[in-house]
């Protein structure tokens, strides 16, 4: 193993699994360099099914340079309907060509508008909207541009196959997108929320400058940290940082232009200026950073990822997943006692079970043995317990478990260097790609 990039270590990813030098190069020079296609797991009735029984029109959309949320908003605007009537299963990257399902409530196929850089195919009708997570996974076709050492890809692939068995395998880290590639702070905000330190949560978002940001942004954030002068900070904060400005405005208003010191209630109200789904993502990022740390420590201790040891908790396979894709069902779990290690190991070898680590929440039961030691060590270092994830204002998380290994049948092509593979829902393509490029996460 070799040490990871400093930005990755800040979010708990301490190592590259492979020792080989990376290929280098860069991604997404053109959207066509990064193609993503959903592996669908959502059935529809025929398009001529009665609309009163099946009010949601299901469409398959191929997008070029479209953020998923922005496309949904544009579609709703052109239809003249509420954005809440448009739903999808997974958020995709803007700098890509993506194919995914959307459902739209209460429209007919002939109502669908023309939208630039969007090809829309009607799939059918459904009785409910498609929900986040209503997919099995994603298939990727990715080109690496101008890699200085493309020949290294073969040795990297061999090392990943050794780790994953007969398939390429990597630790199932949460990728940098979960935290921010340029300024990874979402987990810091979430950890402050879990500790109910609302002042720290706000300042981690509004202040807390990063040398990777534009100079004017760094200066404005530094001014916040040094002065707590909300009114002048608002004047200095660039206009494109709308959320930061909203929070500063609320603090300025609640402190009468800085005449009074801000209280914890004021900071909590300022955080409330953010969309609720964003603040919930901060808590999720906190859980994700703890999970990444647990995987890094498992690597340090040399514990296996593809089979259990005593004290592990495994989950079982989702039998409804598409053929060839290992799809864990994190709701079906079992603790591995000493007398069950051998039998559960056989299930893992056959792709029927997967070793897990916790996304810690109020209902989390930690592992035993050495895996449990790791989980408790990470929580102790963060000065947290599962019960701390009981947070006011609907931010509470009960927690779940997540497979620690992700494997795939990868096809590697040279000249140009390109990779094709599929991953289950919730796993990050960049976690695999980082092993190949070994570059700044911002370039992935």
257 band by pLDDT with thresholds 50, 70 and 90:
confident
* Residues 302 and 352 placed together within one structural domain of the fold: yes
Residue 181, pLDDT > 90, answer no
The CATH number covering residue 89 comes to: 3.30.70.3160
- Contact between 188 and 207 under an 8 Å Cβ cutoff? The reply is no
Residue 389, pLDDT > 90, answer yes
Q: Is residue 4 part of a domain?
A: no
Q: Can 93 be counted among the known catalytic residues?
A: yes
- Contact between 153 and 21 under an 8 Å Cβ cutoff? The reply is no
* Residues 333 and 361 placed together within one structural domain of the fold: yes
* Residues 376 and 396 placed together within one structural domain of the fold: yes
* Residues 298 and 265 placed together within one structural domain of the fold: no
- pLDDT score for 393: 73
- pLDDT score for 302: 95
341 band by pLDDT with thresholds 50, 70 and 90:
very high
Q: Is residue 177 part of a domain?
A: no
* Domain span holding position 328: 282-403
CA dist 421 → 198, 258, 283, 392 (Å)? 42, 54, 30, 41
Instruction: Give the separation between CA 441 and CA 225, rounded to whole angstroms.
Output: 26
- pLDDT score for 59: 97
Tens-place pLDDT, residues 60-89: 999 999 999 899 999 999 999 999 999 999
CA dist 38 → 91, 132, 139, 175 (Å)? 10, 12, 6, 18
3-state secondary structure of 376: helix
Among 253, 274, 295, the domain boundary falls at 274
Percent above pLDDT 70 for the chain: 100
Question: For residues 269-293, b (16+ Cβ closer than 10 Å) or e, as one string?
Answer: bbbebbeeeebbbbbbbbbbbbbbb
- pLDDT score for 443: 80
Instruction: Give the separation between CA 352 and CA 439, rounded to whole angstroms.
Output: 34
* Residues 214 and 326 placed together within one structural domain of the fold: no
* Residues 190 and 268 placed together within one structural domain of the fold: yes
Q: Is residue 11 part of a domain?
A: no
CA atoms within 13 A on the CB side of 144: 29
316 band by pLDDT with thresholds 50, 70 and 90:
very high
Q: Is residue 373 part of a domain?
A: yes
Percent above pLDDT 90 for the chain: 85
Among 226, 248, 274, the domain boundary falls at 274
CA dist 110 → 47, 114, 127 (Å)? 11, 11, 19
- Contact between 138 and 423 under an 8 Å Cβ cutoff? The reply is yes
- Give the Cα-Cα-Cα angle 153, 158, 162 (nearest 5 degrees): 145
Q: Which residue in the block uniquely carries the two structure tokens 């709308």?
A: 242
Phi, psi dihedrals of residue 121, rounded to the nearest 5°: -120, 125
Q: Is residue 419 part of a domain?
A: no
Active-site residue identified among 93, 134, 266, 388: 93
Tens-place pLDDT, residues 344-359: 999 999 889 999 999 9
- Look at 182 and 428; give whichever has higher pLDDT: 428
* Residues 303 and 254 placed together within one structural domain of the fold: no
- pLDDT score for 22: 96
Q: Is residue 360 part of a domain?
A: yes
Number of H helices, E strands in the chain: 13, 16
Q: What is the 3-state secondary structure (H, E, C) of 165-230?
A: CCCEEEECCCCHHHCCCCCCCHHHHHHHHHCCCHHHHHHHHHCCCCCCCCHHHHHHHHHHHHHCCH
Residue 258, pLDDT > 80, answer no
Q: Is residue 138 part of a domain?
A: no
* Residues 112 and 192 placed together within one structural domain of the fold: no
- Contact between 92 and 147 under an 8 Å Cβ cutoff? The reply is no
Tens-place pLDDT, residues 275-302: 888 899 999 999 999 999 999 999 999 9
- pLDDT score for 395: 84
* Residues 383 and 302 placed together within one structural domain of the fold: yes
- pLDDT score for 24: 95
The CATH number covering residue 248 comes to: 1.10.1510.30
Lowest mean pLDDT among 33-37, 194-198, 255-259, 435-439: 255-259
Quick one: the chain helix, strand, coil %, rounded to 5?
40, 20, 40
- Contact between 127 and 54 under an 8 Å Cβ cutoff? The reply is yes
DSSP states of 246-312 = HHHHHHHHHTTTTTSPPPHHHHHHHHTTS-HHHHHHHHHHHHHHHHHHHHHHHHHHT--SSS--TT-
Residue 180, pLDDT > 90, answer no
- Contact between 248 and 206 under an 8 Å Cβ cutoff? The reply is yes
Residue 322, pLDDT > 90, answer no
- pLDDT score for 234: 95
Among 210, 240, 274, the domain boundary falls at 274
What letter does residue 425 receive in the DSSP assignment?
Answer: T
pTM above 0.75, yes or no: yes
- pLDDT score for 384: 96
- pLDDT score for 17: 95
Residue 55, pLDDT > 90, answer yes
Tens-place pLDDT, residues 183-218: 899 999 999 999 999 999 999 999 999 999 999 999
Lowest mean pLDDT among 231-245, 315-329, 351-365: 315-329
Report, as an integer, the average pLDDT of 94-120.
95
* Residues 383 and 306 placed together within one structural domain of the fold: yes
Residue 58, pLDDT > 90, answer yes
- pLDDT score for 297: 98
232 band by pLDDT with thresholds 50, 70 and 90:
very high
The CATH number covering residue 307 comes to: 3.30.2350.20
* Residues 393 and 308 placed together within one structural domain of the fold: yes
From the list 390, 44, 440, 430, the residue with the least C-alpha distance to 212 is: 440
Q: Is residue 431 part of a domain?
A: no
* Residues 122 and 52 placed together within one structural domain of the fold: yes
- Give the Cα-Cα-Cα angle 7, 9, 13 (nearest 5 degrees): 115
* Total of domains in the chain: 3
CA atoms within 13 A on the CB side of 37: 9
- pLDDT score for 326: 87
- pLDDT score for 93: 84
């Amino acid at each position: 193993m070799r040490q990871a990039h400093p930005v990755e270590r800040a979010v708990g990813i301490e190592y590259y699994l492979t020792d080989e030098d990376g290929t280098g190069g860069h991604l997404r020079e053109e959207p066509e360099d990064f193609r993503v296609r959903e592996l669908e797991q959502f059935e529809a009735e025929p398009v001529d099914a009665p609309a009163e029984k099946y009010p949601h029109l299901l469409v398959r959309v191929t997008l070029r340079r479209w953020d998923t949320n922005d496309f949904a908003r544009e579609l709703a605007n052109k239809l003249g309907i509420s954005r809440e009537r448009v739903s999808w299963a997974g958020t995709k990257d803007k700098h890509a060509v993506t194919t995914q399902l959307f459902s739209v409530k209460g429209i007919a196929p002939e109502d669908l508008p023309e939208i630039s850089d969007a090809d829309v195919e009607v799939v059918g009708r459904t009785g409910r909207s498609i929900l986040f997570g209503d997919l099995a996974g994603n298939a990727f076709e990715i080109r690496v541009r101008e890699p200085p050492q493309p020949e290294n890809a073969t040795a990297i692939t061999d090392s990943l196959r050794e780790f994953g068995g007969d398939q390429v395998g990597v630790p199932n880290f949460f990728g940098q997108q979960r935290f921010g590639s340029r300024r990874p702070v979402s987990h810091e905000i979430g950890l402050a929320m879990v500790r109910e330190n609302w002042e720290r949560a706000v300042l981690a978002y509004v202040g807390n400058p990063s040398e990777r940001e534009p100079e004017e942004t760094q200066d404005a954030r530094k001014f916040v940290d040094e002065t707590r002068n909300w009114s002048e900070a608002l004047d200095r904060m660039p206009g494109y940082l709308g959320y930061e400005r909203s929070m500063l405005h609320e603090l300025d208003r609640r402190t009468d232009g800085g005449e009074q010191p801000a209280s914890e209630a004021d900071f909590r109200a300022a955080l409330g200026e953010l969309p609720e789904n964003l603040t919930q993502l901060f808590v999720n990022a906190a859980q994700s950073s703890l999970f990444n740390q647990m995987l890094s420590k498992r690597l340090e201790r040399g514990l296996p990822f593809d089979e259990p040891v005593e004290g592990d908790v495994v989950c079982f396979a989702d039998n409804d997943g598409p053929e060839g894709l290992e799809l864990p069902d994190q709701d079906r779990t079992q603790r591995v006692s000493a007398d069950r290690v051998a039998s559960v190991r056989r299930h893992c070898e056959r792709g029927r079970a997967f070793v897990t680590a916790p996304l810690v929440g109020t209902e989390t039961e930690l592992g035993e043995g050495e895996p449990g030691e790791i989980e408790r060590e990470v929580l102790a270092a963060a000065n947290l317990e599962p019960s701390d994830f009981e947070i006011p204002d609907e931010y509470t998380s009960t927690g779940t478990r997540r497979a620690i290994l992700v494997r795939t049948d990868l096809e590697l092509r040279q000249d140009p260097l390109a990779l094709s593979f599929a991953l289950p829902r919730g796993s990050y393509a960049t976690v695999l790609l980082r092993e190949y490029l070994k570059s700044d996460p911002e370039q992935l």
